Amino acid sequence: MSLLEVRDLQTHFFTRAGVVKAVDDVSFDVAAGEVIGLVGESGSGKSVTGLSILGLVDSPGRIVAGSVKLAGQELVGLAPAKLRALRGQRLAMVFQDPMSVLNPVLTIATQMRLALEAHGRVSNEAARARSIDALTAVRIPDAAQRLDAYPHQFSGGMRQRVAIAIALLHRPALIVCDEPTTALDVSIQAQILTEMRGLVRHLGMALIWISHDLATVSSLASRILVMYAGRIIEEGPTAAVLRSPRHPYSRGLLQSLPSRAEPGQDLAQIPGSTPSLLRLPEGCSFRPRCSEKTDACLRMPEIERHGARAFRCHHPHAAEVP
């Protein structure tokens, strides 16, 4: 049994302008110790998928259907108090902006102790020892000393490490990271990615890494899920997806990576932009931007599974010849 089972998840936002289907029919599994990369453009529903798993979707959004099971326990429809008890302890989330996730007027020690106290009594010494352990795990030098510093005394990368350390405090089974390195320098990104890889291996926790950046995801995740307009349109082992994307959108994403371009050559682009979730085109959502579109695409393609790989397209690119 997988650690996390997401089945037919639908999260809709009921706005004045209409119903926004931010997450539409999303299903996937995450095994313990596995790193999943959730990739897509802004507005593809990847962040809302992450928030839905933790039950953090705010009004006017709501999970309207589907199920999210953590180690067999259903999370959708769970009482708020029970969900709160799980958050931070079994489930944790790391956000994009390390500036706003830390309270500017409390020392790191106080904030970590509050995070520990949230899930039961803990003595001052024990709280300190566990905080130092967590900070050391994310490679903050002089953790014992830095514990008494305030957030503004840390650099952006260090602050994100502290946020990750707070997420690690209770040794959660699953951590959802929502673009945690997007706000950081490329060199710091690489460091944090390396450390995360080590942590996952060392602690055996599952990780969902949400990003718009295929490059960071590919260096970390063993499996990639590509989202477009609220649906998963391609899924598979990282290496296989990168080598031979089946969906035209995944291929477009790969081709638009700067590292793939020759010097002096224009970057490849996917024509058009993400459709408004309020006015999705009929049939396949990617149809208006797709170079392979035919009349068949006026019908929403079902997800097709072939072994470890899956895609949602009537005209997939040829599978790799082994």
Partner 1 sequence: MDEPLARIWAEFRENRVAVGALVVVAAIALIALLAPLIAPQNPYDLASLVLMDARRPPGFVGSGGYVHILGTDAQGRDLFSAILYGLRISIQIGVAAGAVALVLGAVLGTSAAYFGGRIEAFIMRIVDLQLSFPAILLALMLSALLGKGMPQLVAALVTAQYAYFARTAHGAASVERSKEYVEAALSTPLPARTVVFRHILPNCLPPLIVVATVQIANSIALEATLSFLGLGLPPTEPSLGMLIANGFQYMLSGRYWISIYPGIALIVLIVAINLVGDQVRDQLNPRLKR
Q: Which residues bind partner 1 (CB under 8 A)?
A: 54, 56, 81, 84-85, 87-88, 93, 95, 97, 100-106, 110-111, 114-115, 117-119, 149, 153
State which residue, 9 or 54, has the beta carbon closest to partner 1. Answer: 54
> Is the Cβ of residue 105 or residue 321 nearer to partner 1 in the bound state?
105
The rounded distance, in Å, linking the Cα atoms of 209 and 132 is: 25
Nearer to partner 1, 104 or 322 (CB): 104
Of the pair 169, 277, the CB lying nearest partner 1 is at 169
Q: Please, what is the minimum distance in Å from the beta carbon of residue 260 to partner 1?
A: 34
Query: Which of 283, 278, 309, 307 minimizes the C-alpha distance to 294?
Result: 283
Taking the complex as a whole, how short is the minimal distance between the CB of residue 87 and partner 1, in angstroms?
5
201 Cβ contact list (under 8 Å, min separation 6): 33
Q: Which of residues 163 and 313 has its CB atom nearest to partner 1 in the complex? A: 163
- Residue with smaller CB distance to partner 1, 81 or 318: 81
Q: Smallest distance, Å, CB 103 to partner 1?
A: 5
Determine contact, residues 221/37, Cβ cutoff 8 Å. yes
Q: Retrieve residue 302's tokens.
A: 């079902």
Q: How far is the CB of 317 from partner 1 (least distance, A)?
A: 40
In the bound complex, what is the minimum distance in angstroms from residue 222's beta carbon to partner 1? 28
Gyration radius of the chain's alpha carbons = 20
Where do we find the tokens 């099971």? Answer: 69
User: Which residue lies nearer to partner 1 by CB, 164 or 229?
Assistant: 164
Q: How far is the CB of 93 from partner 1 (least distance, A)?
A: 8
Q: Are strands 304-306 and 174-178 parallel, antiparallel or unpaired?
A: unpaired
Q: Tell me the closest approach of the beta carbon of residue 320 to partner 1, in angstroms.
A: 42
Q: Which is nearer to partner 1, 117 or 302 (CB)?
A: 117
Which residues are CB-contacts of 110 (< 8 A; sequence separation ≥ 6)? none
CB of 104 to partner 1, least distance (A): 7
Neighbours of 227 (CB within 10 A): 26
Q: Are strands 73-74 and 91-94 parallel, antiparallel or unpaired?
A: unpaired
- Beta strands 206-211; 174-178: pairing state: parallel
